[in-house]
Structure 1
Amino acid sequence: MSPTRVFVARLAGCSVFDPAGDKVGRVRDVLVVYRSTQSPRVVGFIVEVPGRRRVFLSIGRITSIGSGQIITTGLINLRRFEQRGGEVRVIAEMLGRKVTLADGSSTAIIEDVAIEETGPGEWAVSELFLRRPKTSASPFAKGQTTFAKWNDVRENVTAGEAQSATHLLATYEDLLPADLANALLDLPEQRMLEVAEELSDERLADVLEEMPESEQVGILNKLDDDRAATVLDQMQPDDAADLIAQLDEERGEALLDLMQPEEAEDVRMLLLFAPDTAGGLMTTEPIIVSSDATVAEGLALIRRHELAPALGAAICVTLPPYESPTGRFLGMVHFQRMLRYPPGERLGTLLDQQLEPVNASASAAEVARILATYDLVSVPVVDDNHRLVGVVTIDDVLDYLLPDDWRSHDDEPTPAPFVAVETRPQPIIQSGRRPANGSSH
């Protein structure tokens, strides 16, 4: 029987099952260690288990790889994964890397890596799938592809040159922003910055909104002012305001000057409020209509794909003008109520008479009590003249109430009945490189 060989890029996102057929997680990367005379040895997988926790799954605990799934013995170490010295992530750190063919004929980019079973419970890198530089100036042309053994290439990274993140991004394409943010936070800092540089402005904005403030600031500080301002334009105004508030005053003001005037105006207004008030928590972009708008018009506005679910749960009705700060606030109409009435019904007749708005100076605790007491997902915020200035959504309040490091909180979960805890072995590194101090698990 021929040895089992699989390509790593195809394993990204594959389900991991225990022997009973219960799903325990998804593959996010493959971990290898370099060896002096042989191709890199596979030591295990990085697996995402429920709760978006990344854990290590030893290659010795895997009984089958193939057909889009991985079967394990059921033994998984539930401690959060931390990369050790000498370990290399194939998807995050090898794909997109430049190499030179050993005969000196050409350079190439690693597009995929094949791993092969070399013995019971032992896997190693067998082949590289490479793409040579394109020879045509046409934007549609692609370089020739080829396969090469590990010993037939050598790494060719120019000092100071950033490793391409194109192929890594391809494996993250289908991830939700929160999951992508989590994946980036697991990368080495330099690699995270490289990937962030290659994300589109809109995608990077979505990801930054899901990151802790320290990482937000770190990434934004690596961007030039023009791109940083463009990314801030794409963010929700309340998230952009929170981020700018963490920057030094000079750069924050410079970025505000470069932002689109309408977006900058909303952010400047939010910066006037203390962070623990309704004004500091709110978003300035709710759905706002006149009392003469119909149910059909309201539902059409809610259907916009870019609208956050919490903002689509209700529509605000005001007197003109219809951009915050608006005319006098009249009330809210809940999405569920609109579904009970014919398309031509005027929204002004469907206002929730029981829901009172909060003043922008109201405390975050008061807003949280109102949302909890009346089972709401959003509450309108008005100024002293009863003009609508924004809404506070349930996710805004949760962000405020949870610990600052909740996105990377590392409380140990209770192991599922079918998941035992194993001790992760120290990988054997035969290349002569030693693990970094303090990197043991």
Structure 2
Amino acid sequence: MLANYAARRAALMAQMAPGSVAIVATAPEVARNSDCDYPYRHDSYFYYLSGFAEPDSVLVLVAASATAPAKALLFCRAKHAEREIWDGFRYGPEAARTAFGFDAAFPIEELDAEVSRLLADAPAICYALGGSLDAQVKVWLRNVRQKARSGVTAPASAVDIGPLLDAMRLLKDQDEQQLMRRAAAIASAAHVRAMRATRPGLYEYALDAELLYEFRRSGAQAPAYNSIVAGGANACILHYSANNARLNDGELVLIDAGCELDGYASDITRTWPVNGRFSAPQRDLYQLVLAAQQAALDMVRPGLAQNLIHEAAVQVLAQGMLDLGLLDRHSCGSVEDVIANKSYLPFYMHGTSHWLGMDVHDVGAYRDTSAAGKPWRALEAGMVLTVEPGIYVRPSEGVPEHFWHTGIRIEDDVLVTPQGHEVLSSAPKSVAEIEQLMSQD
């Protein structure tokens, strides 16, 4: 992976004007309460370019010019024997330079002086405009302008580095793909573990604990996001997170949970019966969502527009809503009418797919903003995304009561390949597979 980080830095600098300076800072530590911090998680952009996971760190890249080669500089915490007794190992600049392949490394306390020097006569400064560095950039530029009498000039332009990195992160290399396969495999095993543990009378948090156990047992560092464990009517709350209700006989439970492995996320949703057997109405709705997911998966291949994934799912769901009586044919009309009028929205109100990578909702534009009309982006090999249709039925006049309080979502992680796609997640999702698994002791 070390060579990958260096290659990414080189690719970014190749897009910068000669002699320009790029600055990428990692995330700060955040206090939880009193003298306790939240578990630390690095900034994704910073880690993507460096592989360095310590806080209080900044990466500075200087693009090659006619008179000087490109260079990558790290600023990080100095070695500190006493703090390491309390907080654990830290590399320090020299060891970090050697271990992570930087051209030079400095204590973080030298950042202001060194960056002010590097910005002198640089044509542009590149960073995340409007972010946490804005105030510090003003200080650096003021320091440079104070030397104007000696002939030094400050950068004439500021370039938003975000879109450049977003485009790079959208296409995963082979090492990233392998990490995401592993993250999906761990999360899939966690869903299987939760299925096997499910029974009436448990509380949602008991299944949450099963997920966490499998994540950590298998080497994942943390959940990739707050897990959703939603029994019964709670499954109709899209971002439900309380996870403290009792699981009742005859209900479904929806679990949306993924893990983070070495900086990369998985994101999987499965829905299953608390007692191990789908009722007839539950089965009808479940089979509809499963069919919608298959139609959406069929749209995942290079060259097809990303929005076709959602459109394929909506087409199947809209037809099913009419067939099952969730929507009235007399008042709603044909499938085409349902889609045109968005009559399906009370039962399906979210998108079907999003990018996946270092962030659960990963970076990268969904439309080509440089082209006329801003068309949807065409899928390319190396992209990773989710495919996650669902249906959510709340009590409402005209809606058959046997469907009330039912929420179903089926979500998989999918890699776009040169030939089509690869589904990375593997937890059971057919009715037969789920019922068979849950019937085993």
User: If the length of structure 2 is used for normalisation, what is the TM-score?
Assistant: 0.25
Bigger fraction of residues in helix: 2
Bigger fraction of residues in strand: 1
